[in-house]
Amino acid sequence: MSLVFSAVCLATITDDLFTTVFFTQVEQRYGSDRVEDFRDWQDTINDGVTLNDYDKLNLANQFANRRIRFVSDNDHWDKSDYWATPLESLGTKGGDCEDFAIFKYFTLKAMGVDESKMRLMYVRALLINEPHMVLIYFEDPKAMPLVLDNLKTKILPANQRRDLKPIYSFNGQGLWLAKAQGLGSTKPTSGGTKSWTDLVNRIENGE
């Protein structure tokens, strides 16, 4: 069964995604009790389209943190590392830090936020001494990025998140190594990451 779902569709016209056929397939795949969350996701995206970027960030951040529960990949997918698509995270109502960041990223793209302003960033969460992923947003390339996180749900500037040590960041446009101040280099590498490429391919294939 293939859901009518693609990264391009999600990033542009949401009405083309959230059709009657789509919701029928969501029910078949995830159960009737999951349909309401997908309808609420549609409403959230539609509400966000008319907002400024900061309000979009808060709306997407709150939705993801409230509708998705944290669960490790081992417990959720029986795999040591698995990057879930937004459909999988919302449909199964669970995911780890990477899945939260991915869900917020694509939700904000659907709301119309410029991809060049967003990066998924690998960090070390110092309070728990574990690798972690967050979504960061730059109003402009020289601005202090804002951090969207599932550990601390309030959106804060990166210089107020001393509990996070940046490692590297990326989006669909490339991979950046983090500087000491937590800002990415302005020069992306040409490679990107295999996990990101695999994720986008699975989204385009309707997973």
Return the exposure string of 7-36: e unless at least 16 CB atoms fall within 10 Å of the residue's CB, then b. bebbbeebeebbeeebbebbeebbeeebee
* Tokens of residue 186, six digits: 């302005």
Rounded mean pLDDT of 181-198? 50
Residue, of 169 and 23, whose pLDDT is higher: 23
pLDDT digits (tens, 9 = 90+) for 156-187: 999 999 999 888 777 766 655 544 344 444 44
CB 90 within 8 A of CB 106: no
Rounded mean pLDDT of 16-39? 91
130 DSSP β-pair partners: 125
Rounded mean pLDDT of 87-106? 94
Cα-based distances in Å from 94 to 22, 66, 152, 181: 20, 11, 17, 32
pTM for the whole structure? 0.83
Q: How many angstroms separate the CA atoms of 99 and 202, rounded?
A: 14
Residue, of 56 and 176, whose pLDDT is higher: 56
Cα dihedral sign, 34-122-151-112:
negative
DSSP 185: P
Cα-based distances in Å from 128 to 9, 44, 168, 188: 37, 32, 19, 29
pLDDT digits (tens, 9 = 90+) for 120-159: 888 889 999 998 999 999 998 888 999 999 999 899 999 9
Q: How confident is the model at residue 206 (pLDDT cuts 50, 70, 90)?
A: low
Q: How many angstroms separate the CA atoms of 95 and 77, rounded?
A: 9
Number of H helices, E strands in the chain: 8, 8
Q: How many angstroms separate the CA atoms of 184 and 145, rounded?
A: 10
DSSP 2: -
